[in-house]
């Protein structure tokens, strides 16, 4: 998908028109305009056609191509078409003239167009609404006819026509104040996101044979050695070779607690070394690093709009012309049918036009979702689109993977039990040989324990290593056939073995088809697992389950400690999908989420209404498949994601109800002559500002 930065995009309604127009254009598969971030996402193979079409829709808007590494400025306005200093200056001048009009309103009665009092009226009107008039003219010239600028020009121009001069100028001044305040609020929201993107490191210090050399992170290769001094950002993902330090990880994870690292520990791009110098070996190129992935997810999140956003965009497109037609009917039908005063009913129609501007909805709804995405990002929760905010808010069932998700996934050998004449040392050697080429946590724990006991392998004798997903491994070692696996694997191979009733993971070992014994391996619950389950229940999640390939005893122990509603054990990866789909059929009310961290979790993550990958260093397959990425290894983030989504939805619906309620009341008042244009503009601008302020509240938490 191509990305363009939009320059001179004046208003949210203009953004909606551009999006609608591009989606109707030939050769465009999909187009999304993010007004808050001033970005166009478009899927097409005809770039020049897109640029030409965009220029035809809105001639003043410029499309500037964005690369994946482009970071928008963290300062500035949300609307590059507004020169704040100039607009504020004109606004002050218009306000001064407006004050004169209020004092000398009696001099305007019956004044002709070219008298100096009328020239002051026109000067104040143009100073306050110059850009509104220009935008309305461009809208009409494009043949679109209706937007909030056109509504304001019709309303205020009509007010001048019926000699309501002070109201015409006052409405335009307050509309301008509201426009500037809204732009400032959106700008603050943008800065909060850009502050996260600013965590991108801009240089790397590489150790070479000629000494230290400062280069860009993009030019660093895997295997290069970096030097990171205290206070500097780690530029690429890697492993610590030398040095110890505490890392500030808040830009990536949202966690304020420093992370301690030593030689052998992994580090991520974007983390800051605070207390010591580190020597780091690069393990990933920059484009695949953690910070690059975070930047990409954050920048592209707004390309997937929620259904509510799409509805409001469509609604505004039909709402504005409908309001103009209703206003025209109010202005002319009563005088024609009843002989009532044209001036009275035209004034009421103008009041209706002022109050009916859709700004509150068109700006505040996308800003609300944007705030939710930004707040989640600051807390280390990367949501890949506004649409997933809605799904998270509706989650009633959460299914967790066990190992590495609810438990630490750090296994330690607790006991070695040999059988049929094999010694414990032989059992460990055979198990270590079979697991030597595996990177599974169980394999790592067996190899570590074997090394601690001084064991040595003849690596040249390890042959025919095969992984049997969800069951175990087989290999040949020292001319003998070795099998290491779980209970179901030994049943599959028809090997008699111990029936182990432990609350731990058990690895059975068979040599040449004969049972040789088993190794019990302990795992620990994550410290916040119980809190996470309780927090989810507090958020209205009423069914929590767990799926695991581990044995039933170990799974039952975890489920009992956490108070889960259901668990399924001894599952192969494909069986996890089957069981998950059954849970979904049994729980038709509400959405279902799955949280996992391993490559074997990717198929289930893809099947969930919303799939979450936990841990920034988790499987790439899980992260790519997931709809939400939790940057820390803590299940509590799942509860935080649901809480943020629910707050975002509450704020969005508060804004929708607020806008419709206020506009409905004042439209009724205006139609029956119970509201003046002053009240209308206060209601319109006030509603928009309240909605925007409410939306930005999400970012503050």
What are the catalytic residues? 401
Helices (H), 262-418: 290-300, 307-338, 342-355, 359-378, 386-393
| CB within 8 Å of 550: residues ≥ 6 apart | 402, 403, 486, 505, 569, 570
| CB within 8 Å of 509: residues ≥ 6 apart | 427, 430, 431, 434, 482, 483, 484, 515, 516, 517, 518, 519
Helix (H, G, I), strand (E, B) or coil at 494: coil
DSSP letter for each residue of 508-522: EEEETTEEEEEEEEE
Can you tell me the distance from the alpha carbon of 597 to that of 631, in angstroms, rounded to the nearest whole number?
11
In DSSP terms, which residues pair with 400 in a beta bridge?
A: 546, 595
Distance of alpha carbon 172 from the chain centroid: 36
Long-range contacts made by residues 288-291, C-beta under 8 angstroms, separation at least 24?
A: 288/237, 289/217, 289/236, 289/237, 290/237, 290/252, 290/616, 290/617, 291/199, 291/200, 291/201, 291/251, 291/252
Q: Which residue has the tokens 């050697």?
A: 429
- Strand ranges (DSSP E) for 56-163? 62-65
With 0-12 / 13-18 / 19 or more C-beta atoms within 10 angstroms meaning exposed / middle / buried, residue 260 is exposed
Cβ atoms 346, 331 nearer than 8 A: yes
| CB within 8 Å of 169: residues ≥ 6 apart | 94, 97, 98, 101, 121, 124, 125, 128, 156
Can you tell me the distance from the alpha carbon of 534 to that of 532, in angstroms, rounded to the nearest whole number?
5
């Amino acid at each position: 998908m191509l990305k363009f930065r939009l320059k001179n995009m004046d208003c949210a309604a203009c953004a909606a028109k551009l999006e609608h127009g591009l989606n109707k254009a030939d050769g465009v598969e999909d187009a999304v305009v993010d007004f808050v971030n001033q970005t166009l996402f478009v899927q097409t193979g005809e770039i020049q056609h897109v640029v030409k079409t965009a220029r035809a829709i809105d001639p003043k808007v410029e499309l500037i191509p964005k690369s994946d590494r482009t970071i928008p400025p963290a300062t500035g306005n949300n609307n590059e078409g507004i020169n704040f200093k100039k607009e504020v200056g004109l606004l002050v001048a218009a306000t001064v003239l407006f004050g004169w009009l209020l004092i000398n309103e009696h001099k305007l009665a019956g004044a002709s167009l070219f008298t100096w009092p009328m020239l002051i009226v026109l000067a104040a009107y143009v100073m306050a609404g110059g850009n509104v008039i220009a935008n309305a003219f461009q809208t009409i010239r494009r043949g679109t006819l209706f937007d909030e600028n056109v509504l304001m020009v019709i309303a205020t121009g009509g007010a001048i026509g019926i000699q309501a001069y002070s109201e015409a100028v006052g409405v335009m001044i307050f509309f301008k104040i509201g426009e500037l305040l809204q732009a400032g609020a959106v700008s603050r929201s943008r800065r909060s996101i850009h502050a996260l993107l600013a965590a991108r490191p801009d240089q790397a210090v590489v150790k070479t044979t000629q000494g230290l050399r400062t280069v860009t992170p993009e030019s660093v290769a895997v295997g290069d050695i970096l030097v990171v001094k205290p206070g500097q950002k780690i530029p690429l993902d890697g492993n610590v070779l030398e040095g110890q330090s505490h890392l500030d990880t808040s830009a990536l994870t949202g966690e304020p607690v420093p992370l301690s690292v030593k030689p052998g520990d992994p580090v991520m791009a974007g983390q800051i070394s605070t207390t010591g110098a580190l020597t780091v070996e690069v393990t990933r190129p920059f484009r695949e690093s953690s910070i690059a992935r975070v930047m990409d997810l954050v920048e592209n999140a707004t390309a997937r709009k929620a259904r509510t956003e799409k509805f409001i965009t469509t609604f505004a497109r039909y709402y504005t012309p409908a309001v103009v037609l209703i206003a025209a009917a109010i202005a002319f039908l009563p005088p024609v049918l009843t002989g009532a005063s044209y001036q009275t009913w035209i004034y009421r129609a103008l009041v209706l036009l002022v109050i009916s501007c859709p700004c509150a909805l068109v700006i505040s709804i996308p800003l609300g979702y944007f705030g939710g995405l930004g707040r989640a990002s600051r807390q280390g929760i990367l949501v890949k689109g506004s649409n997933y905010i809605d799904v998270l808010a509706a989650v009633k069932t959460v299914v967790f993977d066990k190992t590495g998700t609810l438990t630490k996934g750090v296994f330690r050998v607790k006991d070695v039990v040999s059988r049929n004449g094999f010694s414990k040392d032989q059992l460990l050697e055979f198990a270590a040989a079979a697991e030597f080429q595996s990177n599974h946590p169980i394999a790592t724990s067996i190899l570590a324990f074997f090394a601690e006991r001084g064991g040595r392998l003849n690596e040249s004798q390890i042959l025919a290593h095969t992984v049997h997903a969800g069951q175990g491994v087989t290999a040949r070692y020292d001319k003998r056939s070795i099998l290491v696996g779980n209970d179901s694997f030994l049943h599959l191979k028809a090997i008699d073995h111990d029936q182990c009733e432990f609350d731990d993971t058990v690895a059975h070992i068979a040599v040449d088809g004969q049972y040789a014994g088993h190794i019990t391996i302990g795992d620990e619950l994550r410290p916040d697992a119980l809190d996470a389950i309780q927090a989810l229940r507090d958020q209205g999640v009423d069914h929590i389950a767990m799926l695991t390939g581990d044995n039933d005893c170990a799974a039952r122990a975890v489920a009992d400690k956490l108070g889960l509603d259901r668990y399924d054990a001894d599952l192969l990866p494909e069986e996890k999908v089957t069981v998950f789909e059954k849970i979904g059929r049994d729980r038709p009310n509400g959405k279902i989420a799955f949280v996992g961290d391993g490559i074997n979790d990717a198929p289930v993550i893809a099947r969930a209404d919303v799939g979450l990958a936990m841990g920034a260093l988790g499987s790439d397959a899980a992260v790519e498949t997931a709809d939400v990425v939790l940057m820390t290894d803590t299940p509590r983030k799942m509860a935080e994601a649901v809480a943020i989504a629910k707050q975002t939805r509450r704020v969005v619906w508060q804004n929708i109800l607020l806008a419709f309620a206020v506009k409905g009341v004042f439209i009724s008042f205006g139609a029956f002559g119970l509201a003046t244009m002053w009240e209308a503009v206060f209601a319109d601008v006030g509603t928009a500002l309240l909605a925007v302020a409410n939306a930005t509240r999400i970012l503050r938490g």
